[in-house]
Amino acid sequence: MAISDLWYKNAIIYCLPVAKYMDADGDGIGDLDGLARRLDYLAGLGVTCLWLQPFYRSPERDDGYDVADYYAVNEKYGTPGRFVEFMNHARALGLRVIIDLVANHTSDQHPWFQQARRDRHAPTRDWYIWSDQRPPDHEKGIVFPGSQKTTWTYDEEAKQYYFHRFYDFQPDLNTLHPSVRDEITRVMGYWLELGVSGFRMDAVPFLIERKGAGVAHEQDFELLHEMRHFLQWRQGEAILLAEANVPPDESLKYFGDRGDRLQMMLNFPVNQRLFYAMATADLGPLTWALRETYKRPPEAQWVHFLRSHDELDLGRLSPEERQQVFDAFAPDASMQLYNRGIRRRLAAMLGNDRGRLELAFSLLFSLPGTPMMLYGDEIGMGDDLSLPERECARTPMQWTSEPHGGFTRSDRPIQRVIDDRTYGYKAVNVSDQRREHNSLLNWTERIIRMRKECPEISWGDFEVMATSASEILALRYDWRGASLVTLHNFAGRRAKVVFDLKGPGGDLLVDVFNTNGDSHGRGGRHEISLDPYAWRWFRVGSPDNALHRAAQ
Ligand code: TEU
């Protein structure tokens, strides 16, 4: 396969909510036309794939993850015609677009549910999960503790309880029902026809679950194969990216042993241990997660991320480990969420410390896989903890120092633009950072540019190297005859690392970002000192990989 065949392996993904990105029509709400005006910015940053969060018709009680019509563009954001124009513009710039597929549940306002609740004999009644009695375990498996009390709620109209894994206004679909499966593929087919390159699949472990009162735990992984098969038949280049927060040993079931299910998964095992490592400089759990997620079918790919639009879920750390991350990055209870996570933005967690932010981003762009960024992190946006739950990290994008951060010309933005002294739009915005050579934004643009030229990272084999320093993560990547080494010092003090590099060219390490950073090591033995939180990327044996790449 050529790099361009499996485009997703060397992609730079950027996730954004249309409503918060850019308002073109002046009603205070971001829209597709506004986003279209920002596509040159995104292409210039080096992004190659946008992930659009739900923009469908919805009562928006869960930021659009409560879909009322899978085929309709939310009127506030635009029309189907505007969507096609936006897609056309994106395509012209070489940007791919993937969209959220929220198939585990609908909004309770979806006509399927409205019809189902009114009539026991309605064709859609069995598309949802009902019970005459409230199951005794109705308080188990709640996803949003504190905001959600049960997973079974009584519906007056239906005269039965219905099952909802998430909020009570999100009734679960019975995804084992053949008609529901048909509907899901129909929705996929519709958006593929409009040019999307695939889907971020919401809540996959729940999607494939057998649901119902008293049923034993069982998952139907065949559904993932069916969806992949359909997808590839309709559009060969399209991909499925799973949101599945599962332990590493379960991930192969989502990829499929032979890579015949989902191409990509968000790497939750690495994500939470990465934050633990940044909090403590103890690299044990992170190294474990990297090694545990090493094995995967050749076409499968992990997606790494720092923050997403949801809370930073630390649910799979031990209670002691989790507490250490809380102590370091979210000491106040108001910064924590659902007893398991952190709801802050990255810059705020890292105390707006440029050195630590660069360390985090350098890791994002060099962990073996495909990086995914959250909108606004490229300029170091902060959060507004006065907003409820996850809303605090979903504030409007800060474009300029003009009123409302240049997000809208309306006086009533959909949400207040952050305006505090450190993270407010006057201090943190795109246009100022464009003018400042060493801004976080310009730095990010440069590191993305380098990342794209290092397919060793995304395509190669990798190894967590054994070194003399426990606080430094040393990774080696080998691909088609070219090799790369990265070092990251997680500690707030200077540290020295010694390691042996085997293979051709091992005597010379060329620092790809810094003319004074090369290391010469006789017999492949290198001794390198790193400042607090410093990081380095080295090509092995040569400043360039093109000459040394084996032909394919
Ligand atoms: O999240 C699904 C989901 O399972 C997450 O809430 C997960 O439990 C959490 O991140 C911890 O890993 C998706 C969306 O990302 C979220 O915004 C929605 O609220 C949710 O689905 C319901 O649709």
Each residue's pLDDT tens digit, 259-271: 999 999 999 999 9
Torsional sign, CA 19, 335, 101, 48: positive
Mean pLDDT of 1-9: 88
C-alpha to C-alpha distance for 205 and 198, rounded to whole angstroms: 19
How high is the pLDDT of residue 521?
97
Q: Which residues touch 170 (CB under 8 Å, ≥6 apart)?
A: 62, 65, 66, 105, 106, 107, 108, 164
Mean pLDDT of 20-29: 98
Report which of residues 533 and 549 the model is more confident about.
Answer: 533
Q: Residue 534 corresponds to which tokens in the numbers above?
A: 């410093």
How many CB atoms within 10 Å of residue 55?
23
Task: Tell me, in angstroms, the distance from the centre of ligand 1 to residue 514's CA.
Answer: 40
How high is the pLDDT of residue 550?
79
Is-contact 142 114, C-beta < 8 A? Answer: no
Helices (H) and strands (E) in the chain, counts: 17, 24
Computed over every residue of the chain, the mean pLDDT equals: 97
C-alpha to C-alpha distance for 437 and 210, rounded to whole angstroms: 54
The percentage of residues in the chain with a pLDDT greater than 70, rounded to a whole number, is 100
Task: Determine whether the shortest distance from the Cβ of 166 to ligand 1 is under 6 A.
Answer: yes
Report which of residues 462 and 550 the model is more confident about.
Answer: 462
Which of 67, 102, 142, 143 for mutating ligand 1's site (highest number of atoms within 8 Å of CB)? 143
Ligand 1 atom nearest 268 alpha carbon:
12
pLDDT band at 449 (very low <50, low <70, confident <90, very high): very high
Catalytic residue among 23, 62, 202, 432: 202
Distances (CA, A) of 207 to 26, 224, 258: 38, 10, 21
Ligand 1 atom nearest 102 alpha carbon:
23
How high is the pLDDT of residue 322?
98
Task: Determine whether the shortest distance from the Cβ of 374 to ligand 1 is under 6 A.
Answer: no
Which of 239, 240, 266, 237 lies closest to 251 in space, CA to CA? 266
Is-contact 243 204, C-beta < 8 A? Answer: yes
> Would the pLDDT of 61 be above 70?
yes
pTM over 0.85: yes
DSSP result, 21-45: H--SSSSSS--HHHHHHTHHHHHHH
Mean pLDDT of 273-280: 98
Is-contact 385 418, C-beta < 8 A? Answer: no
428-447 burial code (b ≥16 CB/10 A, e <16): bbbebbbeeeebbbbbbbeb
How high is the pLDDT of residue 250?
97
